[in-house]
Structure 1
């Protein structure tokens, strides 16, 4: 994951059974947390912003990644669209220009 930006475009990993997708997302984030090489940043877009709220247990792992020095961002437009700005438990709000800047400098690994 070194030199990569992880784009969480969903609150689930993959398509199919929602509960399974949420569990797989949590497992993925646990492994990222435990990896020696961390991503440059994590950017949550579209339904991915729900991973930053109590609606998803993934926020706990994202908060720990922040504490480990990995910046975590929620797309401003998406946060506003879903009305979750006051429900964020992890991450900070950032504009699309910030994602474009990150994507211009680093490889993007997308989870949708």
Structure 2
């Protein structure tokens, strides 16, 4: 995974009738990811994905631990501004689209949509 970045565009993994299920699956994904020895180079959150980095999401606890292991975690500035969550971020740092383009030119992108 070291040669990959993960792009997260939603706060719910998968689609279905029950948003709580998708949020639970997303939390499970990050719980399992943080336990791996081979971690991605970075995780970039866009659109509703930025909610995963907020205090209201249990994902933020796991993402903070992933950050502590050296993985760069980024939140799209345009998205953070749109959803007005800058003061609620519990993990990650705000970055821009130019940075994502740079990362995607360097690393393979895995998208969670």
Counterpart for residue 3 of structure 2: 3
* Secondary structure of the corresponding residue to residue 101 of structure 2: helix
Give the distance between the partners of 2:95 and 2:77, measured in 1 at CA.
5
Give the distance between the partners of 2:14 and 2:79, measured in 1 at CA.
20
Unaligned runs of 5+ in 1: none
- Where does structure 1 differ by over 4 angstroms across 4 or more consecutive aligned residues? none
For residues 1-112 of structure 1, the aligned pairs below 5 Å read 1-16=1-16, 17-112=18-113
Aligned length in residues: 112
* Secondary structure of the corresponding residue to residue 5 of structure 2: strand
* Secondary structure of the corresponding residue to residue 7 of structure 1: strand
Give the root-mean-square deviation of aligned CA atoms: 0.7
Q: Which TM-score applies when normalising by structure 2?
A: 0.97
